[in-house]
Amino acid sequence: MKNLYNRLSQASSPYLKQHSGNPVHWQPWDEQAFSYASKEEKPVFLSVGYSSCHWCHVMEHESFEDPGIADLLNQHFVSIKVDREERPDVDDAYMAAVQLATGRGGWPMTLFLTPDKKPFFAATYLPRDDTGGRQGFRSVLMSIAAAWKENRKEVLAASDEFSRVLERHRTTEPSASSALTRDSIDGALETIAASFDAVNGGFGTRPKFPPHSAILLYLHRVDFPAAAAIVNKTLDSMSAGGIHDHVGGGFHRYSTDERWHLPHFEKMLYDNALLLKAFAVSASLTHDQAHKRVCDRIITWLKREMTSIDGLLYSAIDADSDGEEGLYYTWTQNEIENALGRRSDAFIDAFGIRKDGNYFDEATGKLTGRNVLIAQTKDLDEFDEDLEVLRAVRSSRIRPEIDNKALVAWNGLAVGALAKAGEIAMASRIADALMEYGDSLPHQIVSGKPEGRPFLDTAYLVEGLLDLHEASGESKYLDNASRLFESFRGRFRSKSGGWFFTSTDHENLFGLNKPVLDSSMPSPSSVMALCAIRLGLIDVAREDLESMHGWMEIAPSATETAYLAASMYFDAGGSDITPELTQIDVTESEVDEAGIATFKVQIKPPTGWRVAIEETPLLTELGVAIEGLENPTASLTTEGQTHVVTIAGKPGPGSRGAATAELRLQLCTDTECRRPESRMLELRWRRAGAPPER
């Protein structure tokens, strides 16, 4: 096999193309790259990011453009670059590895793998050189190259163990311990509301991300006492802050401070679609004209800057231009005065402009002399002409790059948001363009070329079509939503209820994962439950909620879309969902002539599940810890769907006829497992011919 060279110039992903000029011999994620790594017995360096990621650019400039770093990578590793938006399945699997290894996540992801894709080192951004006692990327490369050469057996063993833990982590579901009822939804709403920032809006402290899922949940549950305050304060604060592009329309990715003032400047289609939906629903409920104004300006921005020649919407706009983050979007006071002339005084007051700037450098905390626009009032209509002047001035600057791939899922979010905002023509144009693909719907469309297989996040398109049907009355959108749902039901649905992120015949990285938790976007599993309810498939929605309920109990603030689905389920007449718990029965024992008591513990798992034993593909366990018996033994047999644990031992002195056993078990199917659970059992015995001891 020939030596490698940088193969990214032919990629369709703008992010991969950004790295095609690096001296690193980058490979795309494909079989050729891993085959080469296997043949040459080299470890794989995996870097995952996306085109509008600021720290991805920083690591590229520091490390991937450095000839010395490139030499190390090219000599000792096979380097693979992945666009997380193009391969969300790869991103999801290895992000779980990063979070397990470091306790946090983020991009760029930095991992080292064996040639069979098993990770043994995981991190996020690494500076090129050692700093502050932290190893830099150069040192990490040299350390891993040495370990691979001198201690490969230990590295491979570590990768095997890490992969087993990773698979168990990704495929294990928590079991619910209580019923899902209307009252439990209210309890979740109270739990989520406890972290509401009543001063600045949003939840928690800095950094702050737009809380789309929470806002949509509280907009649905306007009867909840704190709902109006949460929704209005959050939407008003975001729309006033620097996270909102007052000049061009749309919202930046997130705020580095708690007040929504200082943004990271990338603009994502999914953020803007979800915020458009939130502002549109709020405006329709409250007739708030300021919220309607925000909707109109998002739509104008989508039409002007994000629409491709085929009518679909691009994915993102970069944060950086001319080598500096935010340069395109920020202003000096002099620039504003020169652009607006005599009108500048009122504008400067209305948007918090300062001579020394109001924008701080994130790393140093020092003022930069530049300003973001921070509205001091909700009534901004009188400044529309001034904002248009500034937009014309800004358009002469070097523009941030646009990621021009059209992701089907994100366009689906936009279809629903535009429909809610009353922009039926634009929503219909996007939906009609996507529906032309019929059952061959791709993951993305780049320059008119469809690419990749869809993932479960195409659920956003199903929901968008339902929103468009509701807004337009056009039956074809309902028909297409129903057809898509049924197609996905056959390819992505778990036999035990719920949905996998990848189809069952897709490349499987560390087990099939059910995406229950909301992240920067709503959980697609929860969106599928919402769609099932709207399509009248209440039994399907019930199974979905049963599957997700364990996570809902543990993490209400990360399952807000699931609680929205639950609320809609009860609105549609659904009944309480009581968890189907494992039934465990213990027989009372007589002590035999040898002084041994024997007990049989019968375990009857819920329908569709079985107790995991070592022969299962996921290699999980059943354990027993016994107190009160001398030299106890335990063995497991299976009788049909019932598992029987036989426990035997000699009653200890002073035990007074009872011992205890902690039974640790885990329930699995062929593709997934619930989290391990423990049950404390009482073991009682009696002497032959005697009543039970008390």
Mean pLDDT of 129-152: 93
Burial of 314 (0-12, 13-18, 19+ CB in 10 A): buried
Q: Read off the amino acid at residue 663.
A: L
Burial of 374 (0-12, 13-18, 19+ CB in 10 A): buried
Cα distance between the two ends of the chain = 77
How many helices (H) and strands (E) are present in the chain, helices listed first?
A: 22, 26
Q: How confident is the model at residue 619 (pLDDT cuts 50, 70, 90)?
A: very low
pTM of the model as a whole: 0.86
Per-residue pLDDT of 359-410, as tens digits, reads: 987 777 788 899 999 999 888 999 999 999 999 999 999 999 999 999 999 9
Burial of 616 (0-12, 13-18, 19+ CB in 10 A): middle
Distance between CA atoms of residues 544 and 485, nearest Å: 14
Check if the beta carbon of residue 36 is closer than 8 Å to that of residue 77.
Answer: no
Query: Using alpha carbons only, how large is the chain's radius of gyration in Å?
Result: 29
Mean pLDDT of 664-679: 74
Question: How confident is the prediction for the chain on average, in pLDDT?
Answer: 90
Q: How confident is the model at residue 615 (pLDDT cuts 50, 70, 90)?
A: very low
Of 62-66, 245-249, 325-329, 600-604, the poorest mean pLDDT is in 600-604
What pLDDT does 557 receive?
94
What pLDDT does 158 receive?
94
H helices of 591-682, in order, are none
Strand, coil or helix: 13: coil
Q: Is the pLDDT of residue 111 over 90?
A: yes
Q: Is the pLDDT of residue 470 over 80?
A: yes
**Bridge partners of 630?**
650
Mean pLDDT of 267-281: 97
Mean pLDDT of 420-437: 96
Output DSSP code: residue 613: -
Contacts of 488 (CB under 8 A, 6+ apart): 456, 458, 459, 462, 499, 528
What pLDDT does 654 receive?
61
> What are the angstrom distances between the C-alpha of 200 and each of 203, 232, 258, 262, 638?
9, 11, 7, 13, 58
Q: What ranges do the domains of the chain cover?
A: 8-171, 206-305+329-396, 583-687
CATH dotted code for 8-171? 3.40.30.10
**Bridge partners of 109?**
48
Of 54-63, 259-268, 343-352, 637-646, the poorest mean pLDDT is in 637-646
Contacts of 219 (CB under 8 A, 6+ apart): 227, 231, 278, 281, 282, 285
Of 109-123, 176-190, 329-343, 616-630, the poorest mean pLDDT is in 616-630
Q: How confident is the model at residue 687 (pLDDT cuts 50, 70, 90)?
A: low
Q: Is the pLDDT of residue 560 over 60?
A: yes
Of 19-33, 139-153, 429-443, 501-515, the poorest mean pLDDT is in 501-515
Greater confidence, 623 or 219?
219
Distance between CA atoms of residues 368 and 357, nearest Å: 6
What pLDDT does 694 receive?
43
Q: How confident is the model at residue 688 (pLDDT cuts 50, 70, 90)?
A: low
Distance between CA atoms of residues 457 and 444, nearest Å: 12
Strand, coil or helix: 580: coil
What pLDDT does 384 receive?
94
Q: Is the pLDDT of residue 605 over 90?
A: no
Q: Is the pLDDT of residue 194 over 60?
A: yes
Contacts of 165 (CB under 8 A, 6+ apart): 100
**Cis? peptide before 108, omega within 30° of 0:** yes
In b/e form, how buried is each residue of 100-138, taking b as 16+ CB within 10 angstroms?
bbeeebebbbbbbbbbebbbbbbbbbbbbeeeeeebbbb
Greater confidence, 170 or 230?
230
What pLDDT does 642 receive?
79
Distance between CA atoms of residues 329 and 54, nearest Å: 15
Q: Is the pLDDT of residue 611 over 80?
A: no
Check if the beta carbon of residue 368 is closer than 8 Å to that of residue 408.
Answer: no
Q: Is the pLDDT of residue 616 over 50?
A: no
**Structurally, what CATH architecture does the domain formed by 583-687 represent?**
Sandwich (2.60)
Q: How many residues make up the chain in this entry?
A: 694
Mean pLDDT of 196-211: 94
What pLDDT does 588 receive?
67
Q: Which tokens sit at 305?
A: 């800057």
Q: Is the pLDDT of residue 479 over 80?
A: yes
Distance between CA atoms of residues 576 and 8, nearest Å: 53
Check if the beta carbon of residue 465 is closer than 8 Å to that of residue 415.
Answer: yes
Q: Tell which residue, 101, 125, 135, 115, has the closest CA to residue 47.
A: 125
Q: How confident is the model at residue 608 (pLDDT cuts 50, 70, 90)?
A: confident
Check if the beta carbon of residue 94 is closer than 8 Å to that of residue 119.
Answer: yes
Distance between CA atoms of residues 49 and 264, nearest Å: 16
Check if the beta carbon of residue 255 is closer than 8 Å to that of residue 242.
Answer: yes
* Other Cβ atoms closer than 10 A to 422: 16
Of 21-30, 140-149, 506-515, 560-569, the poorest mean pLDDT is in 506-515
Residue by residue, DSSP assigns 36-98 as: HHHHHT-PEEEEEE-TT-HHHHHHIIIIIT-HHHHHHHHHH-EEEEEETTT-HHHHHHHHHHH
Check if the beta carbon of residue 583 is closer than 8 Å to that of residue 639.
Answer: no
**Bridge partners of 449?**
446
Q: Which tokens sit at 374?
A: 């921070």
Q: Read off the amino acid at residue 52.
A: S
Per-residue pLDDT of 483-538, as tens digits, reads: 999 999 989 998 878 999 998 888 889 888 899 999 889 999 999 999 999 999 99
Q: Which tokens sit at 616?
A: 């299962």
Check if the beta carbon of residue 457 is closer than 8 Å to that of residue 411.
Answer: no
Q: Is the pLDDT of residue 582 over 90?
A: no
**Bridge partners of 255?**
208, 263
Check if the beta carbon of residue 270 is closer than 8 Å to that of residue 250.
Answer: no
Of 446-455, 579-588, 649-658, the poorest mean pLDDT is in 649-658
Q: Which tokens sit at 432?
A: 């009609």
Burial of 614 (0-12, 13-18, 19+ CB in 10 A): exposed
Burial of 547 (0-12, 13-18, 19+ CB in 10 A): buried
Output DSSP code: residue 556: G
Strand, coil or helix: 355: coil
- Give the whole-number percent of the chain exceeding pLDDT 90: 69
Distance between CA atoms of residues 95 and 122, nearest Å: 9
What pLDDT does 580 receive?
72
Per-residue pLDDT of 309-332, as tens digits, reads: 999 999 999 988 888 888 999 999
Q: Maximum Cα–Cα distance for the chain, whole Å?
A: 106
What pLDDT does 538 receive?
95
Q: How confident is the model at residue 692 (pLDDT cuts 50, 70, 90)?
A: very low
Q: How confident is the model at residue 299 (pLDDT cuts 50, 70, 90)?
A: very high
